[in-house]
A and B are shown apart, each in its own frame.
Chain A
């Protein structure tokens, strides 16, 4: 193995904040986190093994017990379920001899695990074999992959038989498609000379840059839509020796994949945006927090950063400017949706569990290591580079009064042309549906599970805009044949699984909502149950610490509003005073079952 706890510690400077990197090294070398290595790391960091395990246990991809030689993570998403997920899943179990969520197969070769969306909704079903991705799965394709692995090939050899170098875009393109469907005005237009762009920016004062960003009207593209200019100014004026710029590439919202495509097609546009941010707020340290599901991008992105360093676009005294030192490193996550929330992301960057912090203080005031931190979405940074290229007026002229510019949509589901589309804010739902070749659409999940499920019939004229239908980029089309209630269940289950658990309303309430939907599906609910679920929703939304809890009841609430019949048609009429949701048959079945079970032991 050639690696022990000490080597891992040394590689990462015995720095607790790099714990996730250490855990990845251990996991890659041993296949899990062996107790003695964890103990060694704990000792080296001056903490306890339980502390390390507690952190590791927060993340999907870290395992404290050995699994099969290969861990296969099949993405369980709403879109995958439209595309033959069930057959693929069954075939995986059949071919490997393992069961999902169960122990490895008897030969110890494979473990099968469920995972939420891996950012490939336009090419589902998809799976990761350790960190190697396979898309557009069919039962036959799965059988072939498993056969090759059994015959001794590594996942890497199966996926990349030509041995393309990992830092080459050809490798990334070979593994996944980018499906860019529109060119410009902001994205995917023509190659930009980032050297001259950054040089031109450095001629301006930081204040002038901040002014331009404010004038452009840019609002964050990560979901919340906070004014980027205002955030930068807050961060600039915050007191702190050192400041940080973090690019949020966690992209965990089921249905979005635009950040992956931006990082593949236009990484330097994103990094240029970060450099400009660093200059504008006075930051010296940059981090790209990349979700672990996108590990196939790591080498490619490292090479882009190396090229920028070689060009003098990163590093000390950039472009000869004394005092402007800025560099960027990649931080790979561990598998956790809530780590996309900015303060959870910062906790994760510091080597902790991804538990969101209480706000205020906001990251701009006290963020990474307690220092002022400007954290923005991948698309926000890419947009910034273009705003400074073309000017704020150019940008402001596009979109609507409250939503300047354009938005990248990650389109998937029932449509003939899934992929990435750039639309001006203000474009109507119907126009987007037409653009993407929607097939008999009934509903659209705008902004993923945390957004809204809208009705094509009732909401077609609504605009994609912060002031109307806010959208974080996910746009999933559901055709008339889809089971919306089943989709609501999937989404609620996602939030139950991904809640960090620190707030009781989020931890318990989402489970209650899921049980409520299960009751409706089983035909055991009456109107009163829905009222109860609405009350729970209000509690969850109002009393949760972070945006996960603030949005998690939306799959239920938005469908209740738009498609009440999916609930009503399954109501049961209560008999007498007993609640419809009380399952009398189930309640009375247990005793006879128990007696049967004990039959042999009683006289």
Chain B
């Protein structure tokens, strides 16, 4: 309950969950736990992970995905070896989630333009937050004619940050995989290096776009 007595909305990780069967727990033991999260991005980078295609199957013998953007569970239980972060930091919830990932991951990776430098969402930095909100909610051509002018504001809604920042300006990031989104090959290359305990070697051939 919130101070004013309204029912509190629960975050996904606070919802009751059925523990996985013992078999699954056993099968996961000894694998390298990894997690992915989407902050302020478009999910394109997350989908790039799916672009591993059939390569994901042998990889899953070595790694286990404890949390992924696909389940939208934003908190990690226990430690993770590797965290992939898509998207930049655009609201206070992004800040908290990113801090949580930093606290729980040994290696944290910025994936994609949004995470690395703010990307498309950071275009709003050039016009300022007020102008941006005005355009989105008040002057928007899709606003229902005659509807009251409203900008959503509620304590349960994370406040937008003054500007959109790249992840490495908020917490330390260990690696950067560039692209919008990065190629599935790039994600695969980094993941398999980390899984095999090799130093990460991302050939420029996969991260050069000209």
Are the chains A and B members of one assembly?
yes
- Asked whether, in the complex, the Cβ of B162 is within 8 Å of the Cβ of A590, the reply is yes
Given contacts A598-B134, A601-B134, contact A591 B99 (CB under 8 A): no
Total chain A interface residues with beta-carbon distance under 8 A: 23
B67 in the interface (beta carbon within 8 A) = no
A162 in the interface (beta carbon within 8 A) = no
Shortest C-beta distance, B195 to chain A (Å), equals 24
Q: Which residues of B contact A597 (CB under 8 A)?
A: 130
- Asked whether, in the complex, the Cβ of B130 is within 8 Å of the Cβ of A594, the reply is yes
A151 in the interface (beta carbon within 8 A) = no
Instruction: For the complex, give the distance between the alpha carbons of A587 and B164 in Å.
Output: 9
- Asked whether, in the complex, the Cβ of A602 is within 8 Å of the Cβ of B95, the reply is no
Which label, helix, strand, loop or mixed, suits the secondary structure of the A interface? helix
Contact residues of B between 29 and 81, Cβ < 8 Å to A: none
Given contacts A577-B103, A579-B170, A597-B130, contact A587 B162 (CB under 8 A): yes
- Asked whether, in the complex, the Cβ of A577 is within 8 Å of the Cβ of B169, the reply is no
Cβ-neighbour of A577 out of B130, B153, B163, B172 (below 8 A): B172
Contact residues of B between 136 and 166, Cβ < 8 Å to A: 138, 148-151, 153, 159-163, 165
Q: Which residues of A contact B95 (CB under 8 A)?
A: 578, 584, 587
- Asked whether, in the complex, the Cβ of A594 is within 8 Å of the Cβ of B133, the reply is yes
Instruction: For the complex, give the distance between the alpha carbons of A490 and B170 in Å.
Output: 27
Shortest C-beta distance, B96 to chain A (Å), equals 10
Instruction: For the complex, give the distance between the alpha carbons of A248 and B180 in Å.
Output: 48
Instruction: For the complex, give the distance between the alpha carbons of A579 and B95 in Å.
Output: 11
Given contacts A582-B169, A597-B130, A602-B149, contact A577 B162 (CB under 8 A): no
Closest chain B residue, CB of each to CB of A577: B102
Q: Mark B122-133, 1 if CB is under 8 A from A, else 0.
A: 000000111011
Q: Mark A507-529, 1 if CB is under 8 A from B, else 0.
A: 00000000000000000000010
Q: Which residues of A contact B92 (CB under 8 A)?
A: 588
Q: Which residues of B contact A581 (CB under 8 A)?
A: 169
Q: Which residues of A contact B150 (CB under 8 A)?
A: 602-603
Instruction: For the complex, give the distance between the alpha carbons of A598 and B131 in Å.
Output: 9
A483 in the interface (beta carbon within 8 A) = no
- Asked whether, in the complex, the Cβ of A578 is within 8 Å of the Cβ of B165, the reply is no
A431 in the interface (beta carbon within 8 A) = no
Cβ-neighbour of B172 out of A579, A588, A591, A601 (below 8 A): A579
Instruction: For the complex, give the distance between the alpha carbons of A579 and B167 in Å.
Output: 10
Contact residues of A between 453 and 512, Cβ < 8 Å to B: none
Instruction: For the complex, give the distance between the alpha carbons of A598 and B171 in Å.
Output: 32
Contact residues of A between 549 and 597, Cβ < 8 Å to B: 576-579, 581-582, 584, 586-595, 597
Closest chain B residue, CB of each to CB of A576: B99
- Asked whether, in the complex, the Cβ of B169 is within 8 Å of the Cβ of A591, the reply is no
Cβ-neighbour of B149 out of A577, A578, A601 (below 8 A): A601
- Asked whether, in the complex, the Cβ of B162 is within 8 Å of the Cβ of A603, the reply is no
Q: How many A-B contacts are there with CB distance less than 8 Å?
A: 71
Instruction: For the complex, give the distance between the alpha carbons of A576 and B101 in Å.
Output: 12
Instruction: For the complex, give the distance between the alpha carbons of A598 and B151 in Å.
Output: 9
- Asked whether, in the complex, the Cβ of B172 is within 8 Å of the Cβ of A589, the reply is no
Shortest C-beta distance, A519 to chain B (Å), equals 11
- Asked whether, in the complex, the Cβ of B161 is within 8 Å of the Cβ of A590, the reply is yes
Q: Which residues of A contact B128 (CB under 8 A)?
A: 594
Instruction: For the complex, give the distance between the alpha carbons of A418 and B93 in Å.
Output: 58
Q: Which residues of B contact A579 (CB under 8 A)?
A: 169-172
Given contacts A587-B95, A588-B159, A591-B129, contact A577 B171 (CB under 8 A): yes
Cβ-neighbour of B138 out of A577, A588, A602 (below 8 A): A602
Q: Which residues of B contact A588 (CB under 8 A)?
A: 92, 159, 161-162
- Asked whether, in the complex, the Cβ of A589 is within 8 Å of the Cβ of B169, the reply is no
Instruction: For the complex, give the distance between the alpha carbons of A579 and B103 in Å.
Output: 13
Shortest C-beta distance, A573 to chain B (Å), equals 15
Shortest C-beta distance, A47 to chain B (Å), equals 30
- Asked whether, in the complex, the Cβ of B129 is within 8 Å of the Cβ of A601, the reply is no
Instruction: For the complex, give the distance between the alpha carbons of A588 and B92 in Å.
Output: 7
- Asked whether, in the complex, the Cβ of B138 is within 8 Å of the Cβ of A598, the reply is yes
Contact residues of B between 84 and 117, Cβ < 8 Å to A: 92, 95, 99, 102-103
Q: Which residues of B contact A603 (CB under 8 A)?
A: 148-150
- Asked whether, in the complex, the Cβ of A592 is within 8 Å of the Cβ of B99, the reply is no
Instruction: For the complex, give the distance between the alpha carbons of A584 and B153 in Å.
Output: 20
User: Considering the complex of A and B, which 9 residue pairs feature the smallest CB-CB distances, nearest first?
Assistant: A590-B162, A594-B130, A594-B129, A591-B159, A577-B102, A603-B148, A597-B130, A587-B161, A590-B129
Q: List 29 A-B contacts (CB under 8 A).
A: A528-B172, A577-B102, A578-B95, A578-B99, A579-B169, A579-B172, A582-B170, A586-B162, A587-B163, A588-B161, A588-B162, A589-B162, A590-B160, A590-B163, A591-B159, A591-B161, A593-B130, A594-B133, A594-B160, A595-B153, A597-B130, A598-B133, A598-B134, A598-B151, A601-B134, A601-B138, A602-B151, A603-B148, A603-B150
Interface set of A (CB-CB < 8 Å, partner B): 528, 576-579, 581-582, 584, 586-595, 597-598, 601-603
Other A-B contacts than A576-B99, A581-B169, A591-B159, 7 sampled, CB-CB below 8 A, are A528-B172, A579-B172, A582-B169, A584-B95, A586-B162, A594-B130, A601-B138
